[in-house]
Amino acid sequence: MKLKSIVFFLLLGFCQAWSQPLVFQSPNKKIAVTLEAIDGANKGEWFLKISHQSDTNVSEILPKINLGLSRSDQDFSKELLFLKASKPKMITEHYELPYGKKLVRDNQANEVVVSFENPSKAKLNLIIRAYNDGVTFRYEFPEKKGSYVVNDEFTAYQIPKESKRWLEKWNTANEGLYAESSEDKIQRQEWCYPALFNSSDKSSWFLLHEADLDRTYCGTKLSNKNDSNSYKLSFPDPADARGTGEPKPTISLPWQSPWRVITIGSLSDIVESTLVEDVSKPTDFKTTNWVKPGKVSWNYWSSNHGTKDFKTVCEFADLAVKMNWPYTLLDWEWDGMTNGGNLEDALKYIHSKGIKPLMWYNSGGDHTWVSSTPKDRMLTHQNRVEEFTKLKKLGVVGVKIDFFESEKQNMIQYYLDILEDAAQFEMMVYFHGCLVPRGWSRTYPNLMTYEGVRGAEWYNNVPEFTYTAPEHNTILPFTRNVVGAMDYTPVTFTNSQYPHITSYGHELALSVLFESPLQHLADRPEGYYNLPDEVKTFLKNVPTIWDNTKLIDGYPGQDVTIARQKDNSWYIGGISASECKEVTKKIKLDFLTEGTNYQALLIADGKHNKVFDIQNLVVNKNTIMDVKLLRRGGFAVSLIPMEK
């Protein structure tokens, strides 16, 4: 069977006839996209093919991406007639966000719209963009009326079996572990987003995800149940959320799907990419000056029912004050607070200390088995307006909402309803027990962070996290945290129910490695009070928002070192997962400003995993720092420019 191609040459015009060979490339020409017809004619099944030019060679990283949709009235996959490809359009954007791995964003893409029709003359468009750091595509039904159920989406990524992959088994809370596999070790099952792959020749990396999901569709996941090397998009399981909600989405025309996002390049390109937010809808918020990121004291990790105890709440408020953190979180059961005071007493105490409270809610409803209170206060628009009105009067500035348990269309609508109502009251939002980011932070800047990760809370849940956390922590910067804020609730030096075997240096490094505008620091007060002064100072000053992010080195499952910039200062965090040997890293500081000296505070592993080696150094961009990491160790550095 012969394959004929439609390839788009952006610089040479556009085509109306399907057989004219034209090329579609990214602006830097390192990524090429090809659209091919399986049967060699201009009618039938179609797929995309993607290649990437690395520093060493050109690699066909995705030899086939199946395309198409099935609606309740008709099919848009098997007999699609090519009509035309639009004249190529350059997409250029500049925007800013109040938080994230990079506050100022610039991106460029080449976009082509390919038009098809099926045998009944119904139209389907495929919108394709090639960015310098990836490829995105989405489906469009351009017709002006009609309402239908989408029975299936046939998007499927064919992955060469030799490609290494890091995938997390599907679970509704997105709180599993990533496992590495290739060739004969590949399992067939459903998988979470995002999914990381290394090309067969090892020269290129790519991350599969989706973005700009809105209330017109459901969240999808990846499934290779039918073919171990084909990852097809699948809809939510009918049993999710206790069987409530429809697993298949209902759409009204005209309609566009979420973007299918493939971030492509080196590991640095993956880690530093903002592609998921770049393709998402810009915000229409009039102002975001009330969106204020910062660090948060949090009592759940050390005391599961701590918020029921007024004195515990006060202790964590005091911790926030002493550490110069702006927030403290009242977790579940604040409505049952005793031992010297109730909620109103606690809020009065918190405000008297000059910090601000955040408060937890159960998402409520029949979709969750969890009965923890307060429950059902976020379920309807009326519920939310009543609750946000009360919270505003009480001086509460944000809410943490938990236990969603589904990515069906009705749950996506629920998430967005919460964000829109919260914005009317200038209320920040944190989703817990939830989906992973889909670019909503660009559309709704009051969405500060998400859980959607197996984080430090799991030291409270199962003994295995003690032994899996070191490796897991080195995978997250290349996977989950790439696509958006991740509240792992890091930086713990004492133990929860089950101990940690990561070093103190490893734990401190997580304050830089894991990006979250609201960073909930999880240890008990004495865990921070007993630290050396230099470490306490570091935790007081380390930002939660960044002007720039750079991967210095690393490999998923082994080690990772990341540098992040705020104003003229830089912070570095590095960790190792090694169980067997100590590691000495040479950290080049060539990203620093030419001609400027920096005061470096290096906090590394000491003689054993519960002490630090602290050094004050003067460095510049020509400096190479030697840093020793213990087994499962780590380090953190602050680099502050010195006055000339």
Q: Domains in the chain, ordered, with CATH? A: 4-278 (2.70.98.10), 293-429 (3.20.20.70), 562-641 (2.60.40.1180)
How many CB atoms lie under 10 A from the CB of residue 12?
Answer: 11
Cα 354 to Cα 437: distance, rounded to the nearest angstrom: 32
Residue 247 is given by DSSP the state S
Cα 373 to Cα 356: distance, rounded to the nearest angstrom: 21
Q: Is-contact 142 123, C-beta < 8 A?
A: yes
| Short-list 565, 551, 416, 575, CA closest to 490 | 575
Q: Is 561 exposed, middle or buried (0-12, 13-18, 19+ CB in 10 A)?
A: buried
318: left (phi over 0), alpha (psi -120 to 50) or beta: alpha
Q: What is the pTM of this model?
A: 0.96
| Short-list 108, 137, 159, CA closest to 34 | 137
Q: Is-contact 24 18, C-beta < 8 A?
A: no
pLDDT in tens, 340-368: 999 999 999 999 999 999 999 999 999 99
Collapsed DSSP state (helix, strand, coil) of residue 442: helix
Structure-token match 């202790």, residue found: 315
Cα 78 to Cα 544: distance, rounded to the nearest angstrom: 49
How many CB atoms lie under 10 A from the CB of residue 229?
Answer: 17
Cα 496 to Cα 487: distance, rounded to the nearest angstrom: 17
Collapsed DSSP state (helix, strand, coil) of residue 532: coil
Backbone angles phi, psi at 508, to 5 degrees: -65, -40
- Strand partners for 123: 117
Please give the pLDDT value at position 18: 47
Residue 508 CB contacts under 8 Å (≥ 6 apart), including other chains: 491, 535, 538, 539, 573, 603, 612, 634, 635, 636
Cα 573 to Cα 583: distance, rounded to the nearest angstrom: 15
Collapsed DSSP state (helix, strand, coil) of residue 304: coil
Collapsed DSSP state (helix, strand, coil) of residue 484: coil
Residue 453 is given by DSSP the state S
Please give the pLDDT value at position 331: 97
Helix 504-513 to helix 465-475 angle (10° resolution) is 40
Residue 115 CB contacts under 8 Å (≥ 6 apart), including other chains: 82, 83, 84, 85, 86, 123, 124, 125
Cα 586 to Cα 623: distance, rounded to the nearest angstrom: 10
Residue 119 is given by DSSP the state T
pLDDT in tens, 57-85: 899 999 999 999 999 999 999 999 999 99
Q: Give the rounded distance of the alpha carbon of 98 from its chain centre.
A: 16
Mean pLDDT by 10 residues, the chain (644 residues): 37 44 82 89 91 92 97 97 93 97 97 96 98 98 97 97 97 97 92 97 97 98 97 98 98 98 98 98 97 98 95 98 98 97 98 98 96 96 98 98 98 98 98 98 98 97 97 98 98 97 98 98 98 98 98 98 98 97 96 97 98 98 98 98 88
Cα 22 to Cα 36: distance, rounded to the nearest angstrom: 12
> Is the Cα dihedral 200, 204, 207, 208 positive or negative?
negative
Number of residues that this document lists for the chain: 644
Cα 379 to Cα 513: distance, rounded to the nearest angstrom: 35
Q: Is-contact 106 548, C-beta < 8 A?
A: no
Cα 400 to Cα 417: distance, rounded to the nearest angstrom: 15
Please give the pLDDT value at position 39: 80
Q: Provide the pairing of β-strand 447-450 with 624-629.
A: unpaired
Measuring CA to CA, how many Å separate 506 from each of 113, 511, 574, 578?
47, 10, 7, 12
Give, rounded to a whole angstrom, the gap between the first and last alpha carbons of the chain.
Answer: 70
